[in-house]
Structure 1
Amino acid sequence: MEDLRKQFPVLSKYTYLNTASSGLLSNDLIQWRREEDKKLHENGSVHRDTHKIQIESIRSSIARFFTAKNNEVALVPNFSFGLNTLIEGFSRGQKVLLLKNDYPSINWVFEHRDFDVCYAAINENLEENIEAAIARHKPDILAFSLVQYLTGIKINFDFIKQLKAYHPNLMIIADGTQYLGTESFSFSESGIDILGCSAYKWMLSGYGNGFMMIKEAAQQPIFPSTIGFNSADGIYSKQNDIPFVKRLEPGHQDVLTYGSIEQSIQLMERVGIEDISEKNKQLTDFAAAQFSEKGLLKDSVLKRKEHSTIFSIKGDEVVFQKLKKNNIICSQRGDGIRISFHFYNTKEEIQKVLDFV
């Protein structure tokens, strides 16, 4: 994948290990954006008149990439907006199981509304903790991140499928922002009812775009109150006949921002999602071994069988500034330093971190 690195100019300037904060934009994407802006600049509404066809193409690309149905995919500015919009259509008073210290944009959505909230702990026994909490509290909804933004702990997907099989009435909601794009994933086979994503991280699509995938069966008990002329495709007579996902798309949709998702999907399809999965697994295994040998990982990570492309290593402000001074780009999160990598990174770049910690 060495030639592929040329698609991302940042990599020639920095040791960029910060995709968990902001994914990189490819040369192909930037070129497409310029051409798209140029068309709008030169043709105005003549070009804009094609936007409905483009939006449906984008929706289809997302559905294809994650094996969802077109009528299950809503285009939203980000995960937080999408989830808040959906939750407004939920019945209040339901019991919701969350993970303690999960990403605030998941937990706050429920904590700041009239839901009965309970929690499971995030540690090496994550799945067992969820199972025990379900047995104890009998929640109606389970909401969580597929990958934890602080530690990189990734939930076991077979566990989620099994959980849904044992508890078919449990509504399972997940944030895939720190996961989708890192490996092959099938929404239809996942056991997850609602899955959202902001596309500026691992989907490499820039800011202001994301999507929600909502299975047809999960749409039935949800009644979003959002509505707009675009929801009805600009047709007055369709006010009372609006498809579910269009409820999450009440206003004008920006082809430039949402089209960036489609362009990045096309890049990942050209590379091959299976090859991306394998490359990221190799990097993860290498990082886990190297960081573990140097005593940089917590037991909650060491005791897990599999991990994500995010690691929190032990290190203070002095260590972080040393990494930064040497052009190693990462993030301070929680009580550690967060290192994150994607298929455009190398083992040598991960090795560089070890020279300064």
Structure 2
Amino acid sequence: MEEIRNHFPALSSCTYLNTASNGVIPRPIIAWRHQHDLNLMNHASVFRDEHKRHIEQIRMTVANFFDASATETALVPNFSFGINTVLEGLPKGQKILLLKNDYPSLGWPVETRDFRVCYAEIDENLESNIEAAVAKHAPDIFMFSVVQWLNGIKIDLDFLKKLKSQNPNMLLIADGTQYLGTEKFSFKDTAIDVLGASAYKWLTAGYGNGFIMIKEAARARIFPKTLGFNSAEKFESKPIETAFMKHFEPGHQDTLNYGSLEQAILFQQKLGVDKIYHAIATLAEKAKNNFAEMGLLKKNTLLREKHSSIFNLKGDMELFQKLRDNNIICSPRGGGIRVSFHYYNTENELEYLLTILKR
């Protein structure tokens, strides 16, 4: 573990439990970014001559990591850009099911467009609430975060398969920003039709990079309007010849930011994804058990069989300030205090948090 933590200088100055807000970028990515910019400075357009090949390489790395195909995958600057592009391509007037108090970048773009909107509650009975809402409202689309930003509640991916089998014509559109990079995930095997994510949290890739994946079957329902030169193969191409996923990549693509995403994925693979994902799950389970014993969890988390590594602890701004005074980095969210554990966190850090909370 100490060898891993040496890649993250920020961890030496605090107890960092805030990956749900901002993942810590490791040294190798910063070193790669530095060399990239030196190459751009020293070689200008000669360096950029290879950018299309590099972008395709990055796309393949992302697709392979999440068990998708390259033709299903587009590189986007963030989840918000990707999801707005999807929504602009959906016929108006459709009924969309949302989860109450889901992440604003998912809800706001729906609520401010010409859609009919219905809701399901986020609590310990999340899947039952969704089933009831689908039965009552018969939505055309269900949009949701795989892991909730406020409290870490994680939707059951097996439940989504059941839901899809019972409602095959309902599109499932998901935000994976608080999920991807914490456990193995197969886009091919999931029931999700459209999945997008920003990569600055659990993938630790920094800002300005993300991706969106769309299954072939869903494309008959989405008509993206975004377009730019990079969407075409060459200068002589016609706009109507644009491949579906290339609508999500107009204009010049940034090999620095998207390259950082690729480097972050390669970094996880080098560490060993089975090892680091096991470390996350183990620490999250220990944290939940301790928080439960101390009465710090609401029942919407306490009663869930499976949970993520994000927790919303009962506490006010006075307690939050106490944690900050003891150099514990976390976030006030949803009327409580949100802490989150990644593979670079340790049991000693959890014990230190518990010690401060008990004072």
Tell me which interval the TM-score lies in, with the shorter structure as reference length.
Answer: over 0.9
C-alpha separation in 2, matches of 1:351 and 1:178: 24
Q: How far did 1:88 drift?
A: 0.6
Alpha-carbon deviations, 1:92-140, whole Å to 9, x = none? 1111110011111111111101111000000000000000110111110
Alpha-carbon deviations, 1:195-226, whole Å to 9, x = none? 00011000100001111011111112211111
Q: How far did 1:236 drift?
A: 2.5
Structure 1 counterpart of 2:85: 85
Structure-to-structure mapping, 1:221-240, within 5 angstroms: 221-240=221-240
Structure 1 contact 174–194 (Cα < 8 Å) conserved: yes
Structure-to-structure mapping, 1:56-95, within 5 angstroms: 56-95=56-95
Structure 1 contact 319–356 (Cα < 8 Å) conserved: no
Alpha-carbon deviations, 1:279-332, whole Å to 9, x = none? 111011000011111110001100000100100001111111111111110001
SS in 2 for 1:91: coil
Alpha-carbon deviations, 1:133-170, whole Å to 9, x = none? 10111110000000110011000010011111221111
Q: How far did 1:347 drift?
A: 1.3
Structure 2 counterpart of 1:348: 348
TM-score, L = length of structure 2: 0.98
SS in 2 for 1:101: coil
Structure-to-structure mapping, 1:74-153, within 5 angstroms: 74-153=74-153
C-alpha separation in 2, matches of 1:32 and 1:88: 35
Amino acid at match of 2:130: I
C-alpha separation in 1, matches of 2:228 and 2:289: 52
Structure 1 counterpart of 2:16: 16
C-alpha separation in 1, matches of 2:224 and 2:300: 38
SS in 1 for 2:241: coil
SS in 1 for 2:41: helix
C-alpha separation in 2, matches of 1:162 and 1:276: 29
Pair 1:159 & 2:159 matched: yes
Structure 2 counterpart of 1:313: 313
Structure 1 contact 141–171 (Cα < 8 Å) conserved: yes
C-alpha separation in 1, matches of 2:91 and 2:19: 36
Structure 2 counterpart of 1:253: 253
Which structure 2 residue ranges, 5 or more long, are not aligned? Answer: none
Q: How far did 1:49 drift?
A: 0.6
How many pairs were matched up?
357
C-alpha separation in 1, matches of 2:160 and 2:348: 34
Runs of 4+ in 1 over 6 A off after TM superposition: none
SS in 2 for 1:266: helix
Which structure 1 residue ranges, 5 or more long, are not aligned? Answer: none
SS in 2 for 1:53: helix
Percent identical: 57
Amino acid at match of 2:24: L
Structure 2 counterpart of 1:326: 326
Amino acid at match of 1:180: L
C-alpha separation in 1, matches of 2:237 and 2:60: 26
SS in 1 for 2:113: coil
C-alpha separation in 2, matches of 1:50 and 1:298: 52
C-alpha separation in 2, matches of 1:154 and 1:116: 25
Alpha-carbon deviations, 1:171-192, whole Å to 9, x = none? 0000000010001000111100
C-alpha separation in 1, matches of 2:171 and 2:342: 31
Q: How far did 1:233 drift?
A: 3.2
